[in-house]
Amino acid sequence: MQGVANNFETDLIFPLIKETARIAGVSYGDDPKSDVALKVIADHSRAL
């Protein structure tokens, strides 16, 4: 719907990933393992 690769890159969830990446000092898209960790954090934070 929004022309993104997955639901984590939508305008609802991606800001969580960007802020988490900023705090962690990593960049989304640079390392697959970091990307998974960022997605897990974003997914878990949605439950709050």
| Structure confidence by residue, pLDDT tens digits, 8-42 | 999 999 999 999 999 999 999 999 999 999 999 99
| Segments forming the whole domain that contains residue 30 | 7-45
For residue 1, what pLDDT is reported? 78
Asked whether residue 20 is domain-assigned, the answer is yes
For residue 19, what pLDDT is reported? 98
Asked whether residue 24 is domain-assigned, the answer is yes
- For residue 5, give both structure tokens: 């690769």
Cβ proximity of 16 and 28 under 8 Å: no
Q: What is the pTM of this model?
A: 0.87
Q: Which residues contact 18 (CB under 8 A, 6 or more apart)?
A: 28
For residue 21, what pLDDT is reported? 98
Q: In which band, very low, low, confident or very high, does the pLDDT at 48 lie, cut at 50, 70 and 90? A: confident
For residue 13, what pLDDT is reported? 95
Asked whether residue 1 is domain-assigned, the answer is no
